[in-house]
Structure formats: C-alpha cells, structure tokens
Amino acid sequence: MELKQIASFQVDHRKLTEGMYTSRVDGDVVTYDIRMVRPNCGAYLGYGAIHSFEHLFATYVRSGPQSDKVIYAGPMGCRTGFYFLVRDMDPAAAIDLVKETMDFIAGYEGPIPGATEAECGNYREQDLEGARAAAKKMIPILADWTADKLVYQK
C-alpha cells in the first residue's frame, strides 16, 4: 500500500499562526483547525491543560442548540490546537460557536465534566487553570475572525 500525504500535512506549518481555519471539507462535514499555538516554536499546550480543554470544549458544544451538528472536537497530537468537525453548519455560526466556547472555558469554575475514574481513561491528568489560560489567549485572536479568515495562508 502506498501511503498518501494527508491534507493536514500539506499545510505549510511554518506559516501557520493562531486562529481558526478550514482544514478540509468532506461533503457536508467540515473540519476546522483551531490553532492555539504557533507550530514548532517550542511552546505547546500542556497535557493536563489540553485534556481539561477537550473535556470542556466537547461538553459545551454538545450541550447547546447546535449540538446535533457537532461531530467531534479533539486535540491535535502535536499539542498546538484542536480539530472541530461539524455537519451542515454555516462557517459564521461555527466561528461564533468557537468564540462562545472560548468564553465559556475562560470563565469556567467547577469540576471538569467527565473527569472521574468511571468516565475518563486518564481522569487525574487535568489542568483547569491551563485550559482557562489557553482559552483566554484565543479570545482576542478570534474576536474579529470572519469566514474570509478561515483560509490557510499560502
């Protein structure tokens, strides 16, 4: 079998900056790249922070009025951001939902949803303050984000 270069590896990571981008479109499913850390710059999302962020992000987007359009929200292995997959959601609505989610996470206080031994395979590795800090950093970055900015820079 010949291994093909997947779409996300075709993006020039030397040019990527923090923001939200359309990674790929597969029919009615859109994968967004929520880039929270500039790639290959030595500072990455910490394991506990990315884990807590994942729990909060996934819970929030699956709890609101657009939950039926949410397919997946999860971290990138490189720890520079998240993928967010939606179906039949207008790009402006996806941007607004991500902004709302950042606001939610930045101000969240309380127990991390799904962070018990019965609910999570690594429930002890959580960092709420790190997740909140990552979300707070993204709020001004996404403040004026529009559908026109969803395109990767060439």
Tokens of 52: 């807590």
Distances (CA, A) of 22 to 19, 61, 81, 151: 10, 18, 13, 6
Phi, psi dihedral angles at 115 (to 5 degrees): -105, 55
Question: CATH no. for residue 135?
Answer: 3.30.1360.80
Residue 7 has pLDDT above 80, yes or no: no
Domain limits at 65? 20-143
Element (H, E) at 142: helix 128-142
For 24-60, what is each residue's pLDDT tens digit?
999 999 999 999 999 999 889 999 999 999 999 999 9
What's the structural domain count of the chain?
Answer: 1
For 12-33, what is each residue's pLDDT tens digit?
889 999 999 999 999 999 999 9
pLDDT for the residue 45: 96
For 63-86, what is each residue's pLDDT tens digit?
999 999 999 999 999 999 999 999
Tokens of 30: 């859109």
For 83-123, what is each residue's pLDDT tens digit?
999 999 999 999 999 999 999 999 999 999 999 999 999 99
Tokens of 100: 């709302």
Is 4 domain-assigned?
no
Is 26 domain-assigned?
yes
- b vs e for 78-110, b when ≥16 Cβ sit within 10 Å of the residue's Cβ? eebbbbbbbeebebeebbebbbebbbbbbebee
Is 71 domain-assigned?
yes
Is 28 domain-assigned?
yes
